[in-house]
Amino acid sequence: KMDNNKFVKLLKESNLNKKEFSEKTKLAYSTVGNWATSNNVPDWVESWLENYNKVKAYDDIKEKILEIENIKIKTS
C-alpha cells in the first residue's frame, strides 16, 4: 500500500502538485489532501501516476520527432 510520502515523491517526479493531480483525476482537492492525514493513498494512484509519466514521455518524444521532421499536425 502506498503511503503519503511515496505519493508526494511520485507527484514531484511527475511535476504535479496535489491540486493539479486532483484536477486531472477529477477528485475533490480535499480528498487528495485527506490522504496525508490518513496516510492511506488508494491503490490505483501509483499505477495512474506511472501511466501519466509514460504518456507524458511518449508525447515529448513524439513532439521532438515531429519537430525534427518539420511535420505539422493540426490539433483540435
User: Is residue 42 domain-resident?
Assistant: yes
Q: pLDDT-derived band of residue 8, with 50, 70 and 90 as boundaries?
A: very high
Burial of 3 (C-beta count, 10 Å sphere; 0-12/13-18/19+): middle
In the chain, how many domains are there? 1
Residues spanned by the domain of 40: 4-69
Q: 28 to each of 21, 65, 72, how far by Cα in Å?
A: 10, 37, 37
pLDDT digits (tens, 9 = 90+) for 20-76: 999 999 999 999 999 999 989 999 999 999 999 999 999 989 888 888 887 776 665
User: Is residue 43 domain-resident?
Assistant: yes
User: Is residue 8 domain-resident?
Assistant: yes
